[in-house]
Amino acid sequence: MKVAVMGCGTVGSGAVEILENKKELLAAKCGEPVELKYILDIRDLSDRPYGKKAVKDIGLILNDPEIGVVVETMGGLKPAFDFCLQCLNAGKSVVTSNKEMVAVKGDELLAAARANNVCFAFEAAVCGGIPLIRTMFSDLGANRLTGFDGIMNGTTNFILTKMIKEKMSFDTALKLAQELGFAEKDPTADVEGIDACRKTAILASIAFGTHVLPEEIPTEGITRITLEDAAYAADANAEIKLICKAERLPDGKVYAAVCPAFVSRNTMIANVSGVNNAVAVRGDSVGEVFLYGPGAGKEATASAVIGDVLACVRLKKNEDHYYWEPHREGVLCEKGENTVSLYVRGYAKHMETAAREIRETFDSVRFLSRDNAPANELAFITGKGKEKDLFEAVGEIRDFASASVIRVL
């Protein structure tokens, strides 16, 4: 089978290097040679060892009957979506690492793959090297999936780990993540939770069988997390993590969110540090499955891309049955309808009045302490309640201005 790669950036060049350097291994794994024929890129690749394969015209790929699989690692929606759709309609399987495209247009691409009896696979789009998508679609096929939660952005987990364990500033940690090649081109997508939200939308679409759009998922990033919050988290025996979560509620609606959260240090997820990701997937037969591994980086993500290429070569047609229904309204619950506890930090005008009112407002309040806190700082964790009611109640505490509110899992 011959393969084309569209986009030779970080992940694309990683995929190209595996295709070029591991030919024998790949052939042995799928029972036939897997040969890279074209690399489509607007950049000049003539100084690269595989530069002779570079082309600039997608028509060459579309019209070449030898090409059976096309890898899309360009990122973004334009022109990646049109190119992928054209490849599927030309009878070629498509493998992508492009989470934005799958999150926004996955239903259309899956329908096109089904109509053309070819594969559309996107293991590399969520959690880098962790084999998660095929696990959810195929290996957990006996289950009604009931939910998942996890850490799905390596850059923010790396930043939070550096801030909390090494007291490194946010900016220094972000710069380091960019140098190490984890961060998105525009780091806003990482630090504001946009990248994690796209991945959550993809997993929710798989888990619940209907396309969930990123804009439907309430999303908060990590830019407001401070070292003061980290110190209070330590007093609560918790870590602060950017958590991606979705679950089916008793009324059948789906709750989904991306937000920073206090996570008990006694859980596996709290111990996921650096660029690593982890996801706990829950199914009605299996219970909970915990998947852990490198969530970003050139080689780890290219490993997932090539795993999909091999599956496409082996299957040749749409036999992995990846599919979800097109988007419809009303799948997700209203924002704030879920049950949660909140960590709150703020400043009191009158400590005693504020503390008394906090005790009267929330069930089973736990006050927290940290070294060198200003005399008027108060931090506490509420008991459980409906999220929107708790947020409203925080805003109504007299003599108290909240500076930080973080969900507690």
Query: Any idea which residues carry the catalytic annotation?
Result: 199
Q: Which is nearer to ligand HSE, 101 or 408 (CB)?
A: 101
Of residues 250 through 309, those in contact with ligand HSE by CB under 6 A are: 295-296
Calpha distance 406→239 (Å, rounded): 12
Of 127 and 358, the one with the shorter C-beta distance to ligand HSE is: 127
- Using CB under 6 A as the binding rule, the residues of this chain from 53 to 112 that contact ligand HSE are none
Choose the binding region for ligand HSE from 19-27, 31-39, 61-69, 183-191 (rule: CB under 6 A): 183-191
Beta carbon of residue 198, minimum distance to ligand HSE (angstroms, whole number):
9
Q: Measured from the CB of residue 99, what is the shortest distance to ligand HSE in angstroms?
A: 6
Closest CB 195 distance from ligand HSE, rounded Å: 5
Task: Return the number of the residue (187 or 283) whose C-beta is nearest ligand HSE.
Answer: 187
Burial label, 46 (beta-carbon count in 10 A; 0-12, 13-18, 19+): exposed
Which one among 182, 322, 324, 400 touches ligand HSE, defined by CB under 6 A? 182
Q: Which of residues 134-153 bind ligand HSE (CB under 6 A)?
A: 153
Burial class of residue 59, CB neighbours in 10 A (0-12, 13-18, 19+): exposed
Helix (H, G, I), strand (E, B), or coil: what is residue 385? strand
In angstroms, the CA 130 to CA 289 distance is: 13
Taking CB under 6 A as the criterion, the residue among 7, 12, 106, 128 binding ligand HSE is 128
What the block records as the tokens of 84 is 């992928």
Residues contacting ligand HSE: total by CB under 6 A: 11
The closest of 71, 126, 136, 70 to 103, measured between CA atoms, is: 126
Between 3 and 152, CB nearer to ligand HSE: 152
* Tokens at 255, concatenated: 């709750």
* Contact call for residue 184 and ligand HSE (CB under 6 A): yes
Give the Cα separation of 370 and 243 in Å (integer): 24
Smallest gap, in angstroms, from Cβ of residue 189 to ligand HSE? 7
Q: Which is nearer to ligand HSE, 15 or 26 (CB)?
A: 15
Token couple for 64: 């070449």
Report DSSP letters for 254-286, one per residue. EEEEEEEEEEETTSTGGG--TTEEEEEEEETTT
CB within 8 A of 197, min separation 6: which ones?
103, 214, 217, 219, 244, 258
Told to check if 380 binds ligand HSE by CB under 6 A, we report no
Report the alpha-carbon distance of residue 16 to residue 302 in Å, rounded.
Answer: 8
Residue 82 or 186 having the CB closest to ligand HSE: 186
Closest-approach residue to ligand HSE (CB): 155
Q: Which 150-179 positions form the footprint of ligand HSE (CB under 6 A)?
A: 153-155
- Positions touching ligand HSE (CB under 6 A) are 128, 153-155, 182-184, 190, 195, 295-296
